[in-house]
Amino acid sequence: MKPLRITVAVLLTSIAVGALFAQELGLLGRYDDARYIDQPKGDTNQIVFARLIYNGRIPGYYKNWYTDYPKSDRLLIMGVKRLTNLNIADHEKAIAVTDPELFKYPFLYTSEPEQMVLTEQDAAILREYLARGGFWVLDDFWGSFEWEAMERQLRKVLPTAEIKDIPMDHPIFHIFYDIDKIIQVPSLAYVYNGGITWEQDGFVAECKGVWDDRGRLVMVINHNTDLGDAYEWADEPKYPNYFSGYAYRLAINFILYALTH
């Protein structure tokens, strides 16, 4: 029973840390959270890593748009700077779905998409964002229940979209690094739970996509995996580099694909 107690303790710690973070910044898990975040303002000619702020299904819940924020984003940016010549900004941008400046950012990241609650207006904005050439990455949600919750919201944006596995020979897996298989990336709990990589009934990692009418890949959906934790804990010696290294390679490919397609 000892491994079970450790797993529960890690889970409770994770929940507490997330809840305290939200409380410290005054965040409630909704798009007007953007008012309470101190981040750079004004235009830049640099590439900006943008994270979507959405209205959450459970206000103030530890799983929300801010999961792993901002450390995950900042360590990812550091990795992009180190591993590429991309002129990427030092600071991430957390931006509400209702902010007109959303269209300035060609790459958009969303954590915990099962928590999203999109209005018809929100859905129309995201539909236009993709139609204008934006690229949207969903990450860190697990199992059948969270998939169904995510898909209900995605259908508001793209009602007839076909969601299917991205084939391993697709350019997104080879534009910079060659990715030859999909790896399940666990949260930090992996370090303490005896090496379990899955959550809920999400036993197999999936990397699915959505294409537009012209055949352009416009979305990547990372299901049963947690790339965000791999960046957030890349500086934690106990967290395996095997997962962080893979997650960095995948993210860099995503960003480069978004900028060139």
**For the segment 200-259, what is each residue's pLDDT rounded down to a tens digit?**
999 999 999 999 999 999 999 999 999 999 999 999 999 999 999 999 999 999 999 999
Q: Specify which of 8-12, 19-23, 38-42 reaches the highest per-range mean pLDDT.
A: 38-42
Domain that holds residue 66: 2-260
Show the DSSP H helices in the chain as ranges: 2-25, 71-83, 120-131, 143-157, 227-232, 241-260
Entry pTM: 0.92
Q: What percent of the chain has pLDDT over 90?
A: 85
CATH of residue 163's domain is 3.40.50.12140
Q: How confident is the model at residue 3 (pLDDT cuts 50, 70, 90)?
A: very low
Q: Is-contact 67 53, C-beta < 8 A? A: no
Q: How confident is the model at residue 28 (pLDDT cuts 50, 70, 90)?
A: confident
Q: Which amino acid is at 163?
A: I
Distance from C-alpha of 60 to C-alpha of 49, rounded to nearest angstrom: 24
Distance from C-alpha of 240 to C-alpha of 228, rounded to nearest angstrom: 14
Nearest CA to 261 out of 107, 102, 101 is that of 107
Distance from C-alpha of 77 to C-alpha of 72, rounded to nearest angstrom: 9
**For the segment 162-188, what is each residue's pLDDT rounded down to a tens digit?**
999 999 999 999 999 999 999 999 999
Q: What percent of the chain has pLDDT over 70?
A: 90
**For the segment 129-139, what is each residue's pLDDT rounded down to a tens digit?**
999 999 999 99
CA distance to 58, 140, 182, 226, 231, per residue, from 199 (Å)? 20, 10, 16, 10, 18
Number of structural domains in the chain: 1
Q: What is the mean pLDDT of residues 64-88?
A: 97
Cis status of the peptide bond prior to 40, with omega within 30 of 0? no
Q: Is-contact 75 92, C-beta < 8 A? A: no
**Both tokens assigned to 138:** 């969903």
Distance from C-alpha of 178 to C-alpha of 168, rounded to nearest angstrom: 10
> What is the pLDDT at residue 42?
84
In this predicted structure, which of 8-12, 190-194, 195-199 has the lowest mean pLDDT?
Answer: 8-12
Q: Is-contact 26 238, C-beta < 8 A? A: no
**For the segment 213-230, what is each residue's pLDDT rounded down to a tens digit?**
999 999 999 999 999 999
Q: Is-contact 88 142, C-beta < 8 A? A: no
